[in-house]
Chains A and B, each alone.
Chain A
Amino acid sequence: MTEHTWQPTASLAALRQRAALLARVRQFFAERQVLEAEVPVLSRRATSDPHIDSITALLNGDAAYLATSPEFGLKRLLAAGLGDCYYLGKAFREGEAGGRHNPEFTMLEWYRCGWDDRALMLEVGELLRTLLDIETVESLSYRELFLQHLGLDPHTAGIEPLRECTAENVELSFAPADRDECLDLLMSHYLEPRMGPGITLLYDFPASQAALAKVLPDDTGRPVARRFEAYVGGLELANGYWELTDAEEQLRRFEADHRYRGAHKLHVYPYEERLVEALRAGMPECAGVALGIDRLLMLAGGYRRIEEVIAFPVGRA
């Protein structure tokens, strides 16, 4: 069969489903008085995340970056007093391509002032139930998931037992470097496939994986990241935080990320010092979450690969 590369890879039915889904998302937030906001997709500053690379563009001859998420822009708007708001648009990540990834993708991200991660997690569950017609919602902690399936506590297990457990359950070409690499491997290769077909809300991540979430003691007194993820049938859909509002801690995390990237010979991007300034000026206490719209559409329409829901994925863009 001849391939006509001018044509979309998604069916017209999938593209109509996309339009309907976007309309329903906007309606969901309109009913809740959450404001749609736009932030720059092209910026002179980039994410510091150790595991996310930005796509570099030229702006007046200087390096600029395509946003990997609207987070910094939205937080500056929160500090300016805009209140509950969301972004629904494109985000970009270098090198992420596969059956569930496209370097350019559609992201929904929203913030709720005065809420914590637990409250926002429930709203994520509500949005998913509304859009996917799924009734089953299970919420459990990261620790409970590991205990249930692997019998080990991800917060306290030593590196050796973790390495052994990883080697037993995942065929690897390398020895995992640290605890987080073991945990990531177990999560993506062993635990995600064992999640139920419904909505799974997972909370209280290891403190070492806090990203931009608050770190607080859990009910056992152990410091955990107040971060959550939402999965449907084991497919990762959303990642949320009870947001860090401490400017000095934010600066320390940016600098720690820079050291990590430097030590691992990864490109070191300029971090967003205007976010630190916004936090110093005072960002309201809030919770925020980002959700992948393309994957949501895959689930809603029963599509197996991301190119079935994107008109022109990277291979045809």
Chain B
Amino acid sequence: MASYSTNEFKGGLKVMLDGDPCSIVENEFVKPGKGQAFNRVKLRNLKTGRVWERTFRSGESLEAADVMDREMEYLYNDGEFYHFMEPDTFEQHPASVEAVGDAAKWLKEQDICTVTLYNGSPLAVTPPNHVILEITDTDPGLRGDTAQGGNKPATLSTGAVVKVPLFLEIGETIKVDTRTGEYLGRAKDD
């Protein structure tokens, strides 16, 4: 595997640190006028999502991590694994509950997600920014004044709970931003 020197470190570069794949967030060159040069680096551990700070001697290098992002179709959950498929090769990849993490509550069959592969296996799953899901449970709608403010919780077909306007009913489909969990509108409004 290739390796990268501190002067090649830049945001997004995938490297191995302490045995875990990491993505470089920030690389700051630090050098006292009469002292040695260091690189103060922030890295996101791709397994845990935690951000590490680490100082290297300038010129040190890290091994590249075999990490790549692929667009894949979500197929189904067999109770243990979430199955994804590469649309061009039809190759299937089972992702563990840990790899899917919080993305689970947005996964709808046939939606296209970003699956991060590490050494060929799913490490993390990012749902589409916008998903369209059906309301399966919510308090009865308040008819009439749709301009009125206020909202209520609604459970969606995937299990996610989002705040929606008071007039929405069970069975309606809505558009949600998965990054913020925010209601964007009725799906049919598009």
Q: Is A96 an interface residue (CB 8 A)?
A: yes
Say whether B55 contacts A236, CB under 8 Å: no
B60 contact set on A, CB distance < 8 A: 173-174
Say whether B54 contacts A101, CB under 8 Å: no
From A97, A99, A173, A211, contact of B34 by CB (8 A): A211
Interface contacts (Cβ under 8 Å), in number, total 68
Q: Within the assembled complex, what's the spacing in Å between the Cα atoms of A95 and B31? A: 11
Q: Is A273 an interface residue (CB 8 A)?
A: no
B1-52 interface (Cβ within 8 A of A): 7, 17, 28-38, 40, 52
Q: Is B53 an interface residue (CB 8 A)?
A: yes
Main secondary structure of the interface of B (DSSP, over half): strand
Q: Is B167 an interface residue (CB 8 A)?
A: no
A188 contact set on B, CB distance < 8 A: 30-32, 35, 38
Q: Is A51 an interface residue (CB 8 A)?
A: yes
Q: Is B81 an interface residue (CB 8 A)?
A: no
Q: Within the assembled complex, what's the spacing in Å between the Cα atoms of A51 and B65? A: 31
Q: Within the assembled complex, what's the spacing in Å between the Cα atoms of A293 and B40? A: 24
Q: Is B58 an interface residue (CB 8 A)?
A: yes
Say whether A189 contacts B28, CB under 8 Å: no
Q: Is B57 an interface residue (CB 8 A)?
A: yes
Q: How many chain A residues have a CB neighbour from B under 8 Å?
A: 29
Q: Is B76 an interface residue (CB 8 A)?
A: no
Q: Is B183 an interface residue (CB 8 A)?
A: no
Say whether A185 contacts B34, CB under 8 Å: no
Q: Look across to chain B and name the residue whose beta carbon is closest to the beta carbon of A93.
A: B31
Say whether B33 contacts A236, CB under 8 Å: yes
Q: Look across to chain B and name the residue whose beta carbon is closest to the beta carbon of A290.
A: B33
A96 contact set on B, CB distance < 8 A: 29, 31, 37
A183-231 interface (Cβ within 8 A of B): 183-185, 187-189, 209, 211, 227, 229
Q: How many chain B residues have a CB neighbour from A under 8 Å?
A: 22
B38 to chain A, nearest CB (A): 7
Q: Look across to chain A and name the residue whose beta carbon is closest to the beta carbon of B30.
A: A188
Q: Is B118 an interface residue (CB 8 A)?
A: no
Say whether A229 contacts B29, CB under 8 Å: no
Q: Within the assembled complex, what's the spacing in Å between the Cα atoms of A174 and B38? A: 11
B29 contact set on A, CB distance < 8 A: 96-101
B17 contact set on A, CB distance < 8 A: 173
B152-176 interface (Cβ within 8 A of A): none
Q: Look across to chain A and name the residue whose beta carbon is closest to the beta carbon of B7.
A: A95
Interface string of A153-189 (1 = CB under 8 A from B): 0000000000000000011111000001101110111
B7 contact set on A, CB distance < 8 A: 95, 97
Say whether A172 contacts B33, CB under 8 Å: no
Interface string of A282-298 (1 = CB under 8 A from B): 00000000100000000
Q: Within the assembled complex, what's the spacing in Å between the Cα atoms of A180 and B36? A: 9
From B32, B36, B54, contact of A236 by CB (8 A): B32
A159 to chain B, nearest CB (A): 16
Q: Is B56 an interface residue (CB 8 A)?
A: yes
Q: Look across to chain B and name the residue whose beta carbon is closest to the beta carbon of A188.
A: B30
Say whether A184 contacts B32, CB under 8 Å: yes
Q: Look across to chain B and name the residue whose beta carbon is closest to the beta carbon of A172.
A: B55
Q: Is A307 an interface residue (CB 8 A)?
A: no
Q: Within the assembled complex, what's the spacing in Å between the Cα atoms of A239 and B33? A: 7
A49 contact set on B, CB distance < 8 A: 34
Q: Look across to chain A and name the residue whose beta carbon is closest to the beta carbon of B26.
A: A99
A306 to chain B, nearest CB (A): 10
A101-120 interface (Cβ within 8 A of B): 101
From B28, B33, B38, B52, contact of A185 by CB (8 A): B38
Say whether A51 contacts B55, CB under 8 Å: no
B40-92 interface (Cβ within 8 A of A): 40, 52-58, 60
**Top 4 nearest A-B pairs by Cβ distance?**
A98-B29, A184-B35, A239-B33, A173-B56
Name B's A-contacting residues (CB within 8 A). 7, 17, 28-38, 40, 52-58, 60
23 A-B residue pairings within 8 Å (CB atoms): A49-B34, A51-B34, A95-B7, A95-B37, A95-B58, A97-B7, A99-B28, A101-B31, A171-B52, A172-B54, A172-B55, A173-B17, A173-B57, A173-B60, A180-B36, A187-B35, A188-B35, A189-B55, A209-B34, A211-B34, A236-B32, A239-B34, A290-B33
